[in-house]
Amino acid sequence: MQGKVCLVTGANSGIGKVTALELAKMGATVVMTARNRAKGEAAQAEIKAQSGNQSVDLLLADFASLQETRRLAEEFKAKYPRLDILVNNAGLYLSKRLESTDGYEMTFAVNHLAPFLLTNLLLDVLKASAPARVITVSSAAHGGVRMDFDNLQNSRGYSGFRTYGQSKLANILFTYELSERLKGTGVMANCLHPGGVSTNFGSDSGGLFGVVWGLLKPFMRSPEKGAETSIYLASSPELDGVTGKYFVDKIPVMSSRESYKRESWKKLWEVSEELVGLHSPDLVAAR
């Protein structure tokens, strides 16, 4: 990983922090993103100290804002001429329906629209740095959920778990379509389920999910174990040329049946382009 530049979103805690730390230990230049400056700077200092690598940068962005997501991409490109690894790790779970700065349902906005926009805005740098990799953290929660294109904003019959599951299904549909669109460019796109990880994720969500999450935490895997697949997808030479796969415990497995509907890949991409205001000729697939 020496000489490689890695961007890890949501890297101030949990599996994102562990991913950033381990990539830094391998000698990569690591660019962390965080929403909160104090927490981000504390994690940055810790990663520098534990890895012995001073090439650990911090960029701030709140993924509940498309404007901040765009600013993040601009700041990154102003500072770095290359990007070898993009890890779309940031995510959230909400038991109650909230809206983002742009008026979209918050879970869908943060878990899907933000990484969709960020990845597309960084595609030119990724292509110029090829071979490069895009890794998106999804979840087994996508199973048993379908993409309800008539209720993407979950304005009717909101369920925190179903909404979260739909956003994680969106991560997989996005990965599969991105992989198709990037064929021949040298940029690989894969996604993963990290397992049930004992982190602060979901701890303040309240409701039944918060209660169940609290009860299950003692039995969950550590952030170090949960980050293993992200680190493997980012760094393993075995994965050169491997793209369009869903991994669990570093092994490619089948995602849900719903996730293989190609018409859903394309439709979600087009809807997402519209929602984030992204219309660029070079993003149109050469099919």
Query: For strand 187-193 and strand 132-137, is the pairing parallel, antiparallel, or unpaired?
Result: parallel
164 in catalytic set: yes
| Cα–Cα nearest to 176, from 215, 149, 136 | 136
Here the tokens at position 20 are: 């950033």
Write the CB contacts of 186 (distance below 8 Å, at least 6 apart in sequence).
Answer: 127, 130, 131, 132
Q: Which listed residue (104, 164, 232, 246) is catalytic?
A: 164
Q: What is the 3-state secondary structure (H, E, C) of 1-22?
A: CCCCEEEECCCCCHHHHHHHHH
| Cα–Cα nearest to 120, from 287, 279, 286 | 279
The DSSP secondary-structure symbol of 185 reads T
What backbone phi and psi angles, to 5 degrees, belong to 181? -70, -25
Catalytic positions: 164
